[in-house]
Chains A and B, each alone.
Chain A
Amino acid sequence: MRFNEKELISLSRQPSEMASELTMRGPKKGDVFKKRLVKLVVNFLFYFRTDEEEPIGALLLEQCRVEREDSLTFTIIFLDEAERKYQFECDTEEQCGEWTDSIIKASYEFMRKNLIFYRTEIHKLTGKDPLEQYGISDETRFQVSNGLQLKARETSSL
């Protein structure tokens, strides 16, 4: 599948929500833990060899689940291939918690659900649609029905 690699690499250089040196293990049998600079930018997780400019790889964080293996380790599991796990080992329990939390919130779909929730709540409390003043009430991505459909099948986060 083709993708706009140059633009994605450029994205990896943007200011990130979180960046740490962690040890990471890939999903393939025989993959071992290696030290990587892991960087979260929007809904992508980039991983670099420490002090290399270009990332080795990127993970789109949609349709995935985050699990806490133990106090220092978390795993990202993609729903289409549950046997393939990306494991990350942190330095402290606190760091592990921060990462787990950040990745769960890093998906577009997660944000969409929040938006729909806020929109509905504000409408309930005020009788007004908060998106109306921005002229974006009719956008598909902000529709309540969108959220309801997602809810039935949503398992993208722990």
Chain B
Amino acid sequence: MKLNERSVAHYATCDSPPDKTGFLFKKGERNTAYHRRWFVLKGNMLFYFEERDSREPIGVIVLEGCTVELCESAEEFAFAVKFDCAKARIYKMAAENQAAMESWVKALSRASFDYMRLVVKELERQLEDIQETQVGVSCKPKSGRRPPAARSRSGASSSSSSSSSLSSASSAPAVSSTFSGQKNALEEAHSRENGVMWSKAPVPISNGSIEGASSCASWDGSEDSGINMSIGPDGVRAPPVPPRRRGASLENPFSPGTGCFSKLHDWYGREVQEIRAQWLESQ
């Protein structure tokens, strides 16, 4: 099967920061001796070079779908990268000390694209929840109110006990952090949060529920409250923007963060006139 090897090699050596680098001993395929190689982990790709300053990698191990295990070996500080497919090769490696081994095992077991995607989805969900709550409360400020994400965390222990399936236990004989294990951990944490999540009954958004009252929307965004992507002028994908906030409606002054200053100015001007009229009457 072909691979865009030159571009893959470029990814290895380009200036995007690597997730981990270091020397490891790698057991050869035909020559079963352990060879010292310079390893560079970027995303879900583990590159290995002959020397630290080699210009091109000798090879790459695509880590998607792998499991990482400590293994029994004559070699000290050994671990293995295993795959779940037929006739899959087992990549045996050894670190130079206990700390390095643990660090590599941890890094490699969380290197998959799927894992990253999971974490991103979870944070995206959390941010949406926080923003939904904040938009709802912006018109009725209540002191001491905190977003659900922060509140629910008081129930979950943030120490290693709750995240044991995500962190590698160095004392365990075999550490196997597969994707399904990680997913369960996040889902578990997720459901725990749901248990204390505030009800999501629709809160009337008084600052702009009137469609078309002000056409000056403050941010780019879509009509729905989903997070969307936007493209910057230089072609770089900007991170997704928060849900759109409507401009001020003339009926309600409580619209913080409105981008439409002229309308707000008009409204306050009118309010001042009314108050002045009332005051004059009372004289």
Residues of B within 8 Å of A4, CB to CB, are 60-62, 83, 89, 91
> A127: which B residues are within 8 A, CB to CB?
150
A80 to B1, CA, bound (A): 21
Q: Write the nearest CB–CB distance from B62 to chain A, whole angstroms.
A: 5
Are A118 and B124 in touch, CB under 8 angstroms? yes
Identify which of B8, B58, B146 gathers the most chain A CB atoms within 10 Å of its CB.
B8
**B113 and A122 contact, CB distance less than 8 A:** no
Which residues of B66-117 are within 8 A (CB) of A?
A: 66, 83-89, 91, 107, 110-114, 116-117
Stretch of B13-21, B201-209, B252-260, B266-274 with 4 or more beta carbons under 8 angstroms from chain A: B13-21
A155 and B58 within 8 A (CB):
no
A contact residues around B163 at 8 Å (CB): 133-136
Nearest A residue to B48, CB-CB:
A2
Which one of B212-220, B232-240, B243-251 is at the A interface? B232-240
Inter-chain contacts of A115 with B (CB < 8 A): 116, 119-120, 123
Residue on A with the closest CB to B14?
A: A63
User: Is A139 in contact with B110, judged by CB distance below 8 angstroms?
Assistant: yes
Q: Are A134 and B166 interface neighbours, CB within 8 A?
A: yes
User: Roughly how many angstroms separate A155 CA and B91 CA in the complex, as a whole number?
Assistant: 33
Q: Is the C-beta of A39 less than 8 angstroms from some C-beta in chain B?
A: no
**B9 at the binding interface (Cβ < 8 Å):** yes
State in angstroms the CA–CA spacing of A107 and B251 once bound together: 46
A151 to B4, CA, bound (A): 24
B174 contacts the other chain (CB 8 A)? no
User: In the complex the two chains form, is A141's CB within 8 Å of B19's CB?
Assistant: yes
Q: Are B149 and A78 in contact (CB under 8 A)?
A: no
Q: What are some 21 contacts across the A-B interface (CB < 8 A)?
A: A3-B8, A5-B1, A6-B88, A7-B65, A42-B112, A43-B43, A56-B2, A57-B4, A63-B14, A80-B7, A111-B113, A114-B239, A118-B120, A118-B126, A121-B242, A125-B130, A126-B150, A127-B150, A134-B163, A135-B159, A141-B43
Known contacts A108-B43, A133-B189; 11 further A-B pairs (Cβ under 8 A): A4-B61, A6-B83, A43-B44, A58-B1, A59-B3, A62-B11, A105-B229, A114-B124, A114-B240, A115-B120, A146-B17
